[in-house]
Amino acid sequence: MRDRLMAVVGYDSAELLDIACVTTTLAMANRLGNPTRPYRVLLAAPGGGPIVCGSGLTLHSQQTLERLVGPLDTLIVSGGVSFEQAADDPRLVAHVRRLAGESRRVASVCTGAAVLAAAGLLDSRRATTHWRFASRLAARHPAVTVDSRPIYIRDGNVSTAAGITSALDLTLAFIEEDHGAELARQVARDLVIYLQRPGNQAQMSLFTAAPPPRDDLVRQLVDHIAGHPDGDLSTSALAARAGVTRRHLSRLFVQHLGLTAGQYVRRARVEAAAHLLVSTRLPMAGIAARCGFGSAESLRQAFTGHYGIPPSRYRDVNTSRSAPS
């Protein structure tokens, strides 16, 4: 029985969760599925020494990166607070480039994308990384099309996952590709993941990215928008509610949220619709009405523009992969 050799590359100050999300998910697939080709996971590090993670905990590598040889099923590079030093290490980058040529799949987690980019593996490809560092990756590697929105991107045989726990989603996608959707669902349930999110789901939600608390007016309006997505949320109505001019309202939203009031309202409504799609059985017209869209078609257009897939597909993907009710 031939196994699938999965090599995870770590380095000094790597992020522990970047590594554990991958290795634990693969190990659980082996336990739950008894696949004909089980995963064999190796943690490799330069020099084969221990990896002192960014959290201060130490992992013992199982393989010296310089001595690791293919063929590999999948090569996965972790991120970490020292990702720029790793990307500037010519020996580490050279061995990642060498191993990528001996791997069926290549992937990175979080800021590990910087190492793949330094190795030239993301040139002319679309890639993602943690939203906080996306602009730095794009500035440093103009040949890479950096998209900070999705939780993971698969471009050919190269995949990049966004921030830390998005490694769970990418690894589940690998398991589904290798062994089918049922095993991926079993692993997701045992990991107590409510949803196996599609890769094009946004990294950040407006409902978890609160506005700066120092501006009471903006915070109050955001709370109102979240609680009344089906109400009159036009710029004029919001300005009147706040007692300011439309121009001043727009300036406040751009200053504190990086979006105009209209853009923020549209995004909030789309994300409210995404929540209803997977948490209720409301028809599209009902969801559209609850979220302030004039019709199901208006919802479809806005939703597809934000998530990259129509709402019906989003519901199918997420409800089929959610924990049983």
Of 281, 216, 283, nearest to 243 by C-alpha is 216
3-class DSSP assignment, residue 221: helix
Quote the percentage of the chain above a pLDDT of 90.
63
Q: Give yes or no for a contact between 11 and 46, defined as CB atoms under 8 angstroms apart.
A: yes
pLDDT over 90 at 248, yes or no: yes
Band the pLDDT of 181: cuts 50, 70, 90: confident
Is 291 considered catalytic here? no
Handedness of CA 316, 317, 319, 324 (dihedral sign): positive
Amino acid type, 321: R
Q: What is the CA radius of gyration of the chain?
A: 22
Which residues are registered as beta bridge partners of 74?
6, 105
pLDDT at 325: 28
pLDDT at 71: 95
Of 247, 267, 270, nearest to 257 by C-alpha is 267
pLDDT over 50 at 1, yes or no: no
Quote the percentage of the chain above a pLDDT of 70.
90
Q: What confidence tens digit (pLDDT) does each residue in 125-179 have?
A: 999 999 889 889 999 999 999 988 788 889 999 999 987 888 998 999 899 899 9
pLDDT at 200: 54
3-class DSSP assignment, residue 184: helix
pLDDT at 319: 60
What gap in Å lies between CA 145 and CA 148, rounded to an integer? 10
3-class DSSP assignment, residue 265: helix
- Contacts with 133 (C-beta within 8 Å, 6 or more apart), sequence order: 83, 111, 114
pTM of this prediction? 0.68
Q: Give yes or no for a contact between 97 and 36, defined as CB atoms under 8 angstroms apart.
A: no
Question: In what side-by-side order are the strands of the sheet with 152-155?
Answer: 63-64, 39-45, 4-9, 72-77, 103-109, 158-161, 152-155
What gap in Å lies between CA 217 and CA 248, rounded to an integer? 11
Q: What confidence tens digit (pLDDT) does each residue in 221-237 have?
A: 988 888 889 999 999 99
Catalytic residue, chosen from 21, 53, 110, 291, is 110
3-class DSSP assignment, residue 15: coil
Q: What confidence tens digit (pLDDT) does each residue in 279-322 have?
A: 678 899 999 999 999 999 999 999 998 888 899 988 887 664 43
The tokens for 275 are 């929540």
pLDDT over 90 at 210, yes or no: no
Mean pLDDT of the chain: 88
